[in-house]
Amino acid sequence: MGQMAPVYVYNAFVFTYGMKVVGASRDFLLIVLLIGSFFSFFTIPFSGYLSDRLGRRHVYIFGAAATGLFAFAYFAMLDTAMPGLIILATLIAFAFHDLMWGPLAALTAESFTPRLRYSGASIGFQLAAVFAGGPAPMIATAILASTGSGQMIALYIFGCAIVSVAATAFLPSGRDRDFTRDHV
């Protein structure tokens, strides 16, 4: 949840916010996102590597907490309407998000044994996409329409991050389990 909601805000809702509130052009925002996803080409494998060294849950929880806190700064930086700051805000937001996105796959798959893994991981991930990801741009749009403030949207992202941090903290560590076998 802490991963899905922000990513749809940063990738989809940013067009609504960027064009209507900040006054940026569509092409500019598209280019900013292109730079951001190019940057992710490096941060995602790196965060996967970090999760092998430091533990997946630690990296994921750090990423979720950092994403939740940075959301406030993100909207403040967008509000300046300075191209440099918009690009910087996007890069930082993507980097923190990737600390969740990188280890997410292994974290999810390690929660299941081989004979349940495909179903378990797929259904878990896709349900999260439907309930947290899909409605996120609409929720953000509704918040913007009723409050007119980016900071309130940041609060929403912050709330999603708290859910993620708590849920991940309760997840048993995959480290001490045998990934390769069906333990009954």
Residues that bind another protein (CB under 8 A): 1-3, 11-12, 27, 30-31, 33-34, 36-38, 40-41, 44-45, 47-52, 56, 60, 64, 101-130, 133-134, 163-164, 167-168, 171-172, 175, 179-182, 184
Nearest alpha-carbon partner for 142 in 133, 153, 134: 153
Distance CA 127, CA 125 (A): 6
User: Would you say 76 or 125 has its CB closer to another protein?
Assistant: 125
From the CB of 153, what's the least distance to another protein, in Å? 19
Distance CA 79, CA 66 (A): 20
From the CB of 41, what's the least distance to another protein, in Å? 6
User: Would you say 127 or 142 has its CB closer to another protein?
Assistant: 127
User: Would you say 27 or 148 has its CB closer to another protein?
Assistant: 27
Nearest alpha-carbon partner for 75 in 140, 1, 161: 140
Distance CA 120, CA 115 (A): 9
